[in-house]
Chain A
């Protein structure tokens, strides 16, 4: 008998063949040209536009939208990419509802912002469909810079350095570039292998070499890099995960949400990817929602997100919470994991209700038990490797506004560095700004 949503335990192929393709198609499909013009027409070309201020990469949003209006989507793309070389990915993954679109004056006026993200996608897709990245390299400076980690921060830094005429050697511990664009972002946000295509497109500027399987702390060390290169940029993201601190956390079926998502992103055939009938996700951020929604789309029958505080405190935006809801994911607020049940493999989870009277979160003692064949931990990532000698701030590498670390000649940016939200667009901004600072310090 073929598997179904009701098949007990963790099983692959719960859905019919065609269902996977439908379920994992584009969350926000690209605009047709006419739709783009209608959407662009709503922009008021605001003075000192609030949307631009809200964009971590400061894209000149009214200008690029005007260029779409004027029938020049490729020029619009150049306006975007000159500030944000991963404008294509950001158009797909930015939580616009908490960034540019949140402050759009038409959100204020009508509760319906200009759809900046989708317009950005229209422009960047238009250019990328037929042209290489549009920037040229300045004359060679003879300077060499090492970039460790080929995620959004590293790629953005490398591209900007290359455009200034520097040579960049980029190293990544994994066998593919893109960082979480490739391994973390929800599949329905980045379809058709977009992350890999974007990396290749970006690299076409030249002057950037990419070596896989090189890990700082394993087969790369910072002191050697410092002596071999004129500057080093660390963009190693957050490779570690927080522990659950619940009894039975080591049972089979309990895993990190990011690993599950990474398997999902790399799967050739989603029907072969096993998922539980009853899935519980612990956490309240974007990763929790992504793991929950994608479990549901893979065919899990019941998916619950357990979050220890109230909804309004969740890291996931209202839009993402709604996305979970429309996919039939239940969000259980004010609960925290107490004990994983089961004999060797997990079968259920005991959650304790919580309250917060202002003096900190406390368990009430009341327990709810949910069946769970699979439990995903999405309670935050941590710095995996602390490079020797760099000062930390909290649990991240301490950096100045322009990305300089406590070590001379070493910069850092993206999720591994202090300051800013853990978002793709923030990583891009920090990589770009560090590149400018490196350039300034090398060229005087």
Chain B
């Protein structure tokens, strides 16, 4: 039987599912109910310095995009850090941690980029008994305009500096939360590492405008006729987050840096995928904001059933297992040849594969007068577009040609050897190297 208990940089929790720093973790009432529902840990909604709290807009804060049947796929928000007084949050954190010693309580922080500000807040957080801190270098709106959040997260030197201040001034583990609003995630990750971070967490939200009101000519959510970009999250951002997690996990310098993965985790499977790509645990925000705390039951039951099926006893046994298989394009085997195959019994003759291949790809699908669709191997480049557009799952598959078989498109037999771009005759650098 799988054991879901998790130990992330020394922070123990009953399972690897934490709630990300956001409204679900903004107060004691929520966090207690989350723990009762079964969540393993929380990262408390980001706290700011002592003093008058920030204020939020008083109109709509969220925008969304939907899939068919109004399934929420992406959420966008213009909310700031907690707008409740620091002392109240601290009191609540202490009370919750005291009552739930087996759950992780990590406190997210965002204070001005001055050492004094960090020195002031760290001891009061430590005093609550919290298990660790997360530095919010990600918030892409509002706070960034004031030189915090993404404004720090986009400058590696600042990340390093603030992380170092924190490490020097607290015994708590320090998790650095990264913004995806940069071109190369490795730079901030390396900076966090240099600063002594115990771990990174990613991603925070992505700059976005989800829709435009065409009558008011204004982006949504609209506040008195004006809108601003917000932070995008939910299932739609998962592919972006997964790539960033994988990049850090496979980069030699950051390979051993623990990762808490965030971005679109909605079911057990998303968590398993992030962890296979190197994450030690996951954090969830939009999924609970959409469906409520109870989804944790599906997540833990699903992850544990999958682990049982695969024979994994603990999450450590599969965490990072896909990382060695994430590589650069130039190392992919160019001698691996596949061809699309249509299962005629499954095919419903819709013709989508034909339209896609004929109009936009390689004219490799034929259509007979009685609507039989077939693949012409002499044209098929195995691009996978037909597989992706076919409405019948499993109807079109990719068959691997065994070595020695003829590739009718190139009229050459399939080579048994591995051969990549770095070795390819068409690559000028490869030729030059010879």
Decide yes or no whether B393 CB sits under 8 A from chain A. Answer: yes
| Per-residue A-contact encoding for B289-307, CB less than 8 Å = 1, 0 else | 0011011011001100110
Decide yes or no whether B268 CB sits under 8 A from chain A. Answer: yes
| Per-residue A-contact encoding for B390-410, CB less than 8 Å = 1, 0 else | 001100000000000000000
Decide yes or no whether A240 CB sits under 8 A from chain B. Answer: no
C-alpha spacing A33/B395, complex, angstroms: 13
| Per-residue B-contact encoding for A284-299, CB less than 8 Å = 1, 0 else | 0000000000000000
- Counting residue pairs across A and B whose Cβ atoms lie within 8 Å, the total is 44
Indicate if the CB atoms of A74 and B71 lie closer than 8 Å: no
Question: Which residue of B is nearest A74, CB measured?
Answer: B305
Question: Which residue of B is nearest A47, CB measured?
Answer: B292
C-alpha spacing A363/B297, complex, angstroms: 59
Task: Please name all residues of chain A whose beta carbon is closer than 8 Å to the beta carbon of B306 when the two chains form the complex.
Answer: 72
Decide yes or no whether B267 CB sits under 8 A from chain A. Answer: yes
Indicate if the CB atoms of A75 and B292 lie closer than 8 Å: no
| Per-residue A-contact encoding for B263-291, CB less than 8 Å = 1, 0 else | 00001110000000000000000000001
Indicate if the CB atoms of A71 and B269 lie closer than 8 Å: yes
Indicate if the CB atoms of B69 and A72 lie closer than 8 Å: no
**In the complex, what's the smallest C-beta–C-beta distance from B395 to chain A, in angstroms?**
10
Task: Please name all residues of chain B whose beta carbon is closer than 8 Å to the beta carbon of A67 when the two chains form the complex.
Answer: 298, 301-302
Indicate if the CB atoms of A41 and B71 lie closer than 8 Å: yes
Identify which of B267, B301, B393 contacts A69 (C-beta below 8 A).
B267
C-alpha spacing A70/B298, complex, angstroms: 8
C-alpha spacing A62/B295, complex, angstroms: 10
Q: A70-B302, A75-B305 are in contact. Are A34 and B392 (CB under 8 A)?
A: yes
Task: Please name all residues of chain A whose beta carbon is closer than 8 Å to the beta carbon of B268 when the two chains form the complex.
Answer: 70, 72
Indicate if the CB atoms of B301 and A75 lie closer than 8 Å: yes
| Per-residue B-contact encoding for A38-82, CB less than 8 Å = 1, 0 else | 000110010100000000000000110011011110110011000
Chain B CB count within 10 A is highest, among A34, A42, A47, A72, for: A72
Task: Please name all residues of chain A whose beta carbon is closer than 8 Å to the beta carbon of B393 when the two chains form the complex.
Answer: 33-34
Indicate if the CB atoms of B71 and A66 lie closer than 8 Å: no
Task: Please name all residues of chain A whose beta carbon is closer than 8 Å to the beta carbon of B392 when the two chains form the complex.
Answer: 34
Q: A34-B393, A70-B268 are in contact. Are A45 and B291 (CB under 8 A)?
A: yes
Indicate if the CB atoms of B69 and A41 lie closer than 8 Å: yes
C-alpha spacing A405/B125, complex, angstroms: 59
C-alpha spacing A63/B291, complex, angstroms: 11
Q: A34-B392, A70-B269, A72-B268 are in contact. Are A63 and B298 (CB under 8 A)?
A: yes
Task: Please name all residues of chain B whose beta carbon is closer than 8 Å to the beta carbon of A74 when the two chains form the complex.
Answer: 305
Task: Please name all residues of chain A whose beta carbon is closer than 8 Å to the beta carbon of B291 when the two chains form the complex.
Answer: 45, 66
Q: A72-B305, A75-B302 are in contact. Are A42 and B69 (CB under 8 A)?
A: yes
**In the complex, what's the smallest C-beta–C-beta distance from B109 to chain A, in angstroms?**
32
Identify which of A34, A62, A71, A72 contacts B301 (C-beta below 8 A).
A72
**In the complex, what's the smallest C-beta–C-beta distance from A366 to chain B, in angstroms?**
53
Task: Please name all residues of chain B whose beta carbon is closer than 8 Å to the beta carbon of A45 when the two chains form the complex.
Answer: 291-292, 294-295
Task: Please name all residues of chain B whose beta carbon is closer than 8 Å to the beta carbon of A41 when the two chains form the complex.
Answer: 69, 71
Task: Please name all residues of chain B whose beta carbon is closer than 8 Å to the beta carbon of A66 when the two chains form the complex.
Answer: 267, 291, 295, 298
Question: Which residue of A is nearest B294, CB measured?
Answer: A63
Task: Please name all residues of chain B whose beta carbon is closer than 8 Å to the beta carbon of A33 when the two chains form the complex.
Answer: 393
Question: Which residue of A is nearest B292, CB measured?
Answer: A47
| Per-residue A-contact encoding for B132-164, CB less than 8 Å = 1, 0 else | 000000000000000000000000000000000
**In the complex, what's the smallest C-beta–C-beta distance from A360 to chain B, in angstroms?**
50
Identify which of B71, B267, B297 contacts A63 (C-beta below 8 A).
B297
Indicate if the CB atoms of B292 and A72 lie closer than 8 Å: no
**In the complex, what's the smallest C-beta–C-beta distance from A131 to chain B, in angstroms?**
12
**In the complex, what's the smallest C-beta–C-beta distance from B295 to chain A, in angstroms?**
7
C-alpha spacing A280/B268, complex, angstroms: 55
C-alpha spacing A67/B299, complex, angstroms: 9
| Per-residue A-contact encoding for B52-89, CB less than 8 Å = 1, 0 else | 00000000000000000101000000000000000000
C-alpha spacing A41/B72, complex, angstroms: 12
C-alpha spacing A47/B292, complex, angstroms: 8
**In the complex, what's the smallest C-beta–C-beta distance from B71 to chain A, in angstroms?**
7
**In the complex, what's the smallest C-beta–C-beta distance from A423 to chain B, in angstroms?**
28
Chain B CB count within 10 A is highest, among A33, A34, A66, for: A66
Question: Which residue of B is nearest A42, CB measured?
Answer: B69
C-alpha spacing A74/B292, complex, angstroms: 23
**In the complex, what's the smallest C-beta–C-beta distance from B289 to chain A, in angstroms?**
13
C-alpha spacing A63/B37, complex, angstroms: 13
C-alpha spacing A42/B68, complex, angstroms: 10
Task: Please name all residues of chain B whose beta carbon is closer than 8 Å to the beta carbon of A69 when the two chains form the complex.
Answer: 267
Which positions 288-336 of chain B face chain A at CB distance < 8 Å?
Answer: 291-292, 294-295, 297-298, 301-302, 305-306
Question: Which residue of B is nearest A64, CB measured?
Answer: B298
C-alpha spacing A67/B302, complex, angstroms: 8
C-alpha spacing A264/B291, complex, angstroms: 47
Indicate if the CB atoms of A70 and B69 lie closer than 8 Å: no
Task: Please name all residues of chain A whose beta carbon is closer than 8 Å to the beta carbon of B297 when the two chains form the complex.
Answer: 63
**In the complex, what's the smallest C-beta–C-beta distance from B31 to chain A, in angstroms?**
19
Question: Which residue of A is nearest B297, CB measured?
Answer: A63
C-alpha spacing A69/B292, complex, angstroms: 16
**In the complex, what's the smallest C-beta–C-beta distance from A7 to chain B, in angstroms?**
41
Indicate if the CB atoms of A70 and B292 lie closer than 8 Å: no
C-alpha spacing A34/B302, complex, angstroms: 19
Which positions 11-48 of chain A face chain B at CB distance < 8 Å?
Answer: 33-34, 41-42, 45, 47
C-alpha spacing A69/B269, complex, angstroms: 11
Question: Which residue of B is nearest A69, CB measured?
Answer: B267
Question: Which residue of A is nearest B266, CB measured?
Answer: A70
C-alpha spacing A34/B392, complex, angstroms: 8
**In the complex, what's the smallest C-beta–C-beta distance from A47 to chain B, in angstroms?**
6
C-alpha spacing A67/B297, complex, angstroms: 9
Question: Which residue of A is nearest B290, CB measured?
Answer: A45
Task: Please name all residues of chain A whose beta carbon is closer than 8 Å to the beta carbon of B298 when the two chains form the complex.
Answer: 63, 66-67, 70, 72, 75
Chain A CB count within 10 A is highest, among B292, B298, B306, for: B298
Which positions 169-223 of chain B face chain A at CB distance < 8 Å?
Answer: none
Task: Please name all residues of chain A whose beta carbon is closer than 8 Å to the beta carbon of B292 when the two chains form the complex.
Answer: 45, 47
C-alpha spacing A126/B294, complex, angstroms: 24
Question: Which residue of B is nearest A34, CB measured?
Answer: B393
| Per-residue B-contact encoding for A353-396, CB less than 8 Å = 1, 0 else | 00000000000000000000000000000000000000000000
C-alpha spacing A70/B392, complex, angstroms: 19
| Per-residue A-contact encoding for B12-23, CB less than 8 Å = 1, 0 else | 000000000000
C-alpha spacing A42/B69, complex, angstroms: 7
Task: Please name all residues of chain B whose beta carbon is closer than 8 Å to the beta carbon of A47 when the two chains form the complex.
Answer: 292
C-alpha spacing A67/B269, complex, angstroms: 11
Q: A34-B393, A63-B294, A63-B298 are in contact. Are A70 and B71 (CB under 8 A)?
A: no
Indicate if the CB atoms of B305 and A70 lie closer than 8 Å: no
Which positions 334-359 of chain B face chain A at CB distance < 8 Å?
Answer: none
**In the complex, what's the smallest C-beta–C-beta distance from B335 to chain A, in angstroms?**
33
C-alpha spacing A69/B297, complex, angstroms: 14
C-alpha spacing A72/B268, complex, angstroms: 10
Chain A CB count within 10 A is highest, among B71, B269, B292, B301, for: B301
Indicate if the CB atoms of A70 and B294 lie closer than 8 Å: no
Question: Which residue of A is nearest B305, CB measured?
Answer: A75
A–B pairs, 19, beta carbons within 8 Å: A33-B393, A34-B392, A42-B69, A45-B291, A45-B295, A47-B292, A62-B294, A63-B297, A66-B267, A66-B291, A70-B269, A70-B302, A71-B267, A71-B269, A72-B268, A72-B302, A72-B305, A72-B306, A75-B305
Chain A residues near B (Cβ < 8 Å): 33-34, 41-42, 45, 47, 62-63, 66-67, 69-72, 74-75, 78-79
Chain B residues near A (Cβ < 8 Å): 69, 71, 267-269, 291-292, 294-295, 297-298, 301-302, 305-306, 392-393
7 closest residue pairs by CB, A with B:
A70-B267, A72-B302, A45-B291, A75-B301, A66-B298, A75-B305, A67-B298
Instruction: Apart from A63-B294, A72-B298, A75-B298, list 5 A-B contacts with CB within 8 A.
Output: A33-B393, A34-B393, A41-B69, A70-B298, A78-B301
